[in-house]
Structure 1
Amino acid sequence: MNGSDTGAVAFLGVIVLDTRFPRPPGDIGSPQTWVRAGIPARLRVVPGASARRVVQEQDPALLGPFIDAARSLAADGACLITTSCGFLAGWQAELQAAVPVPVITSSLLQCSDLPAPGIVTFDAASLHHALLRRAGVPDGTPVEGLAPGCELQSRILADNTLLDLAQAQRDVVAAAVQLVSRHPQVQTVVLECTNMPPYRAAVEQATGRPVHDLETLMLAAWRRAQSSSTRRAG
């Protein structure tokens, strides 16, 4: 499944979970996210990688297929690789070691570079300390999850083809407002979930904080990669 890639042009490789829930523009797994940014992209699905297996079970049997997907994208000419689930930060080292191009698995990787970050996650109960540590998240970084069973969480875990986007936005905003209410020292909000970027502007408005997610991180990484490539060509 391709985005806007053509021929031998270098492209962004996106390793995508095996899902069918709606992905509006901004979602990392939506081809339109990359089309609107003018970034050639190829999306590669990992069969059997459901949100439940990746997020809640963190099934080690999936590591091999994710590595295979990364290697396949790199062999096809990807100059940068990302994923469609922030919890894959737990396998950042393994995926990066498998390919010769940069891999950015998760928005969590930028937490150490941001002032007083706080995290809004898809599932706080599953975002355990060991995973945060592997992502380089500073100890003590506040974390707030979506309300268990809310629209966005329940639809994704059930892999439902229906999603109330307005309610999903309210779910994300509510978690972000709760985060800064409980932890007023938070200066920067980081959206862990790759399905949350469509609601970034609403979170910024509601919290009064700058918001970072995987879309913003990848747009910056792509610009750096293109700038570096241009300098080498010159």
Structure 2
Amino acid sequence: MSPGRDQNGGVVLSARTGQVFAGAPLGILLLDGVDCPFIPGSVGNASTWSVPVRYKLVPGMNEHQLFGPTPAEVTPAVVQAAIELAREGAQMITANCGFTIHYQEAVRASVDVPVLLSSLLLAPFLERLLPRTKTLGIVTGGKDYFTPELLSASGLLEAPDRFVVANITEAPAWTALWRYPGTLDVAGVESEVVRTAMDLVSTRPDVGAILLECSDLPPYAAAVQRATRLPVFDFTSMVEFFAAGLMRKPFDGFLY
């Protein structure tokens, strides 16, 4: 629905073709074939968000495509799903994998709402904020797939000395999460994520902030911050930042 006003200043709403419900501004594209628990904090858990959400699974968009040599093969399906979300009323679109950055430009060119498909979009922003003596630490579930193409899509290709990547892929509890069907040892994964971050800052004391790439890492952001005493960012930081811009509230306070 698109709002307008009548001659008396009253709100007038026009229906949007294809929109059958309203009030869920966040649209989320989902990987196909992910069978693991989604706890609060995960992109895949609706209670994570401060605003109502709508989810849409993208057929064929799975880890084999994202981490394989031909992620572009499913671009049409990703674009179509995003178009459907926008048609249904989504005011912004994200996804539940950092590596969907591969589809950022294609989706952005196809819908008329903001597109934030990956937490990696935060990387160049954070890098520009940090002192020149500091680097950005990125914790990921797929360091081996940080290809030049992915770095270019993330805006990091031109600043290779401004970030460092730490991998959690081989950690046992984390690995168990991605087996079929996945099992989640929350305390075990939290310990592994914290240890990965601590090893990173121990090896690279110049790290000034940490970005959690994977959409299932935000549940552990607070623990990482407590351990490292550094600013920690993730999918939720990015999405909630923009969601706040969609629904600004008037300031209220003392005038004198």
TM exceeds 0.5?
yes
1:58 CA displacement:
5.6
Equivalent residue of 1:98, what SS? Answer: coil
Aligned partner of residue 214 in structure 2, secondary structure: coil
Q: What is the match of residue 3 of structure 1?
A: none
User: Runs of 5+ in structure 1 lacking a partner?
Assistant: 1-5
Cα distance in 1 for partners of 2:245, 2:92 equals 11
CA contact (8 A) 1:12 1:42 kept: yes
Look up the equivalent residue of 1:9 and give its one-letter code.
G
Provide the rounded CA distance (Å) in 1 between the counterparts of 2:116 and 2:104: 7
The DSSP-based 3-state class of the residue aligned with 2:29 is strand
Measure how far apart 1:154 and its partner are: 4.1
**Equivalent residue, structure 1, for 2:142:** 123
Q: Which letter maps to 1:198?
A: P
Distance in 2 (alpha carbons) for counterparts of 1:145 and 1:217: 21
Q: Provide the secondary structure at the position in 1 that maps to 2:248.
A: helix
CA-to-partner distance for each residue in 1:60-82, whole Å, 9 max, x for gaps?
22211111110110111110000
- For residue 73 of structure 1, what is the amino acid of its counterpart? L
In terms of Rg, which structure is larger? 2
- Name whichever structure is richer in helix by fraction: 1
In the superposition, the TM-score normalised over structure 2's length comes to 0.80
1:135 to partner: Cα distance = 0.9
Task: Name the residue aligned to 2:152.
Answer: 133
Q: Whole-Å Cα distance in 1 between the matches of residues 65 and 92 of structure 2?
A: 25
2:78 is the alignment partner of 1:69:
no
1:223 aligns with 2:244: yes
Q: Does 1:48 align with 2:38?
A: no
Asked if structure 1 preserves the Cα contact closer than 8 Å seen for 2:176 and 2:183, the reply is no
Which of the residues 20, 42, 57 maps onto 2:35?
20
What is aligned with 1:173?
Answer: 194
Identity %: 33
Counting matched residue pairs gives 220
1:159 shift after superposition: 3.7
Structure 1 residue 104 corresponds to structure 2 residue 116? yes
TM-score, normalization: structure 1? 0.87
Q: Post-superposition shift, 1:149?
A: 5.1
Q: Would the aligned equivalents of 1:120 and 1:145 in 2 still touch at CA under 8 Å?
A: yes
Cα-Cα RMSD: 2.0
